[in-house]
Amino acid sequence: MTPDTCVIVPTIREFECMRSYFANAREHGFDLDRLFVLLVTEDFCETEAMAAMLDEEGVSGAVFDGTRREQWYDEQDIGEFSHVIPDASHAETSFGLLYMWANPQFDYGFFIDDDTLPHEGFDFFGRHFANLQYDGELEEIGSSEQWTNVLYQTFDEHGLYPRGYPYSAMDEDIERGIRETNDVVASQGLWTNVPDLDAVRILLDGDLKGQAQTRLDAEHYDGDFLAARGSYLTVCSMNLAFEREVIPAFYQLPMDDNPWEVGRFDDIWSGVFLKRACDVLGKDIFNGYPLCVHNKASRSTFSDLNNEVPALELNEHVWEIADGAGTDADSYGEVFEAIAAALVHSDYSEYENGDFLAFVGEHMYDWLACLDALAPGTVPEARAAADD
């Protein structure tokens, strides 16, 4: 059987976690022959041990460290675009998206972080696929602030907002409804144990080790939901499945390796842009189950804070820039290009590090151009920012 699903795992240490995901698949009768596991790592890591693990498990896949990624760019004749994938950053998951785009047998993708495990009682892969194929009514959640807190279900108990949720959107009035959905293109599973919080909220929770004093368990969740149309949400890439079609609007944005030292918002901003594209095109992001166990390693909360502070103000506004872009577009690439144009061609100097937004927009143009180079004619012809 030719694999139809590319599982993208950024890892520098805990790659053995994938054995638990494979065991979960076997327990629930999921066909592992569907999977191709792409381990995205660094030259200093145990690449031979990673490849051996895949062989021992009988799962097809590949290990791409920095050297092998550079070789792959050259083989695909896209070396001029290698800068779109930042070095030594979680946003290297974008390499997996490029690999998928270059290999059309992959209809589906998964993002799995190496500090997670499948949650007992859930058919991890099977549930994500069921979500992507869901057709029917589902609760939709919006708010007076145009934001959906994915932790809303037991908020009165824990009071948490996830990483990337704007501070200006807190204290929202939740708006509930039921809506028919028949075109789910992404499935976001949530997490137990260590909540996915930003550094400021971790500090407020009294933790100096990058985790949180407040922990979550399965009882903090109560079923699946959609974010309402026109309402944004945080999309965390630690437990996520998606259809191939979203890749033009799902670039994991260039963090860490930039002059402003901005980090930690790659999946957050990409989720905002994807949600805008979904709203324009009438698609949905399914949220809730399957859960994963998030075993975030101990580290300095202040290290994360240093990565987040340069873009904290920008995070309050980037969704407003995306909102309204690409209204008349009829493809993911066209919506994404419209957002890129809004970032590149407007003056955001009133914001701290506002010129970082143009940097992001230019990379978004290059992302579309790179996809078109890999598969000509599959995305709109991206205009070079320098030519406008």
The two three-digit tokens of residue 196, written as one number? 């996915």
Average pLDDT over residues 156-177: 98
pLDDT tens digits for 104-142?
Answer: 999 999 999 999 999 999 999 999 999 999 999 999 999
Residue 269's closest CA among 314, 327, 202?
A: 314
Residue 281's closest CA among 333, 321, 320?
A: 333
Q: Is the peptide bond before 254 cis (omega within 30 degrees of 0)?
A: no
Mean pLDDT of the chain: 96
Please report the pLDDT score of residue 308 as a whole number.
Answer: 97
Q: Any alpha helices (H) in 6-65, and if so which ranges?
A: 17-27, 47-57
Please report the pLDDT score of residue 380 as a whole number.
Answer: 78
Count of H-run helices and E-run strands, the chain: 13, 13
Residue 13: pLDDT band by 50, 70, 90 thresholds? confident
The DSSP annotation for 284-301 comes to: EEEEEEEEEEE-PPP--H
Q: Is the model's pLDDT at 166 over the cut of 50?
A: yes
Please report the pLDDT score of residue 388 as a whole number.
Answer: 43
pTM: 0.96
Q: What Rg do the C-alpha atoms of the chain give, in angstroms?
A: 20
Average pLDDT over residues 283-309: 97
pLDDT tens digits for 205-260?
Answer: 999 999 999 999 999 999 999 999 999 999 999 999 999 999 999 999 999 989 99
Q: Is the model's pLDDT at 381 over the cut of 80?
A: no
pLDDT tens digits for 272-293?
Answer: 999 999 999 999 999 999 999 9
Q: Is the model's pLDDT at 384 over the cut of 70?
A: no
Please report the pLDDT score of residue 382 as a whole number.
Answer: 56
Residue 145: pLDDT band by 50, 70, 90 thresholds? very high
Please report the pLDDT score of residue 1 as a whole number.
Answer: 83
Could you tell me which residues are beta bridge partners of residue 227? 141
pLDDT tens digits for 34-86?
Answer: 999 999 999 999 999 999 999 999 999 999 999 999 999 999 999 999 999 99
Nearby residues of 161 by Cβ (< 8 Å), 6 or more positions away: 149, 151, 170, 197, 201
Q: Is the model's pLDDT at 11 over the cut of 70?
A: yes
3 state SS of 78:
coil
- What is the sign of the dihedral through the CA atoms of 5, 11, 16 and 17? negative
Angle at CA of residue 116, ends 82 and 248, nearest 5° = 35
| Residue 28 to residue 224: CA distance in whole angstroms | 20
pLDDT tens digits for 79-90?
Answer: 999 999 998 899
- Residue 361's identity, in one-letter code, is G
Q: Is the model's pLDDT at 385 over the cut of 80?
A: no
| Residue 15 to residue 62: CA distance in whole angstroms | 13
Residue 383: pLDDT band by 50, 70, 90 thresholds? low
pLDDT tens digits for 311-352?
Answer: 999 999 999 999 999 999 999 999 999 999 999 999 999 999
